[in-house]
Amino acid sequence: MRFSKSNQTFYPEGLDYPSLPSDLVIVSEEDHARAVTRAHGETLDFVGGKLVIIAAPKPALELLQASKIAAIKSECVDYIRKGFECSALGAVYTYPTKDLDQQNLNSAVLASYAAPNGWTTSFWCEDSKGTWALLEHTADQIQKVGLASRNFIAGALKKCADLAETVQAAQEADLDSIKW
């Protein structure tokens, strides 16, 4: 088997090529087998007459930081979507926070400000036993749920922003220690 460093390509012997690179070197089948199973990004070189695999360069710090920030943002979204707790009904209930849930909550809160006395609205929530139910909320109660939702989401976004800032100031060795 022949190898060209300039092309990073193998040329089997016994095949006719119209032209071959001038830097061809004979390599063993063992070296060829190691070379073709190398990891993505690794390159080949000839050192001391032997084919060696050169490790892929490490990503730049900025790329590592960007990747870490993307992971933190994803964890923030997951955290928010798990819901929040609020005791507007007297006991602690968990309220949903997926996109449609938030649209429905915003609509209910907005409607509550123009609602007549005695107005109520049904809204999904989960009790301490894990049972979801559509429970009635007064205008005051749904407004408290809306405020609790806003505070929960704002707190998560603040934590996300703070962690992103920490990542931007961190060195590579510190990135793994920064967790949601």
φ and ψ of 176, to 5 deg: -65, -25
Instruction: Based on the fold, state whether residues 73 and 101 are members of the same structural domain.
Output: yes
Mean pLDDT of 147-171: 97
What are the start-end ranges of the H helices in the chain?
29-36, 61-81, 99-114, 139-169
Residues 85 and 113 in one domain: yes
- pLDDT one-digit tens code per residue, 25-42: 888 888 888 888 888 888
pLDDT tens digits, one per residue of 39-54: 888 888 888 778 888 9
Look at the chain and report how many structural domains it folds into: 2
42 and 73 fall within a common domain: no
* 3-state secondary structure (DSSP) of residue 87: coil
Could you tell me if 36 and 113 lie in one domain?
no
pLDDT at residue 103, rounded to an integer: 97
Same domain, 78 and 157: yes
Boundary (domain end) residue, out of 10, 31, 54: 54
**Judgement on whether residues 8 and 45 belong to the same structural domain of the protein:** yes
CB atoms within 10 A of CB 92: 13
- Report CA 104 to chain centroid distance, whole Å: 27
Q: Are residues 82 and 167 in the same domain?
A: yes
Pair 122, 39 in one domain: no
Q: Does 7 share its domain with 90?
A: no
The length of the chain, given as a count of residues: 180
pLDDT at 127: 97
Q: Are residues 135 and 66 in the same domain?
A: yes
Look at residues 54, 76, 96 and tell me which one is the last residue of a structural domain: 54
What sign results for the dihedral spanned by CA atoms 33, 39, 45, 47? negative
Of 33, 54, 75, the domain-final residue: 54
Residues 8 and 66 in one domain: no
- Tell me what pLDDT residue 49 has: 76
pLDDT at 2 over 80: yes
For residue 25, give its domain range.
2-54
Tell me what pLDDT residue 175 has: 95
Statement to judge: residues 95 and 39 lie in one domain: no
Looking at the chain, the whole-number percentage of residues with pLDDT higher than 70 is 100
What confidence score (pLDDT) does residue 115 get?
Answer: 95
Structure confidence at residue 76 (pLDDT): 97
CA distance 88 to 69: 34
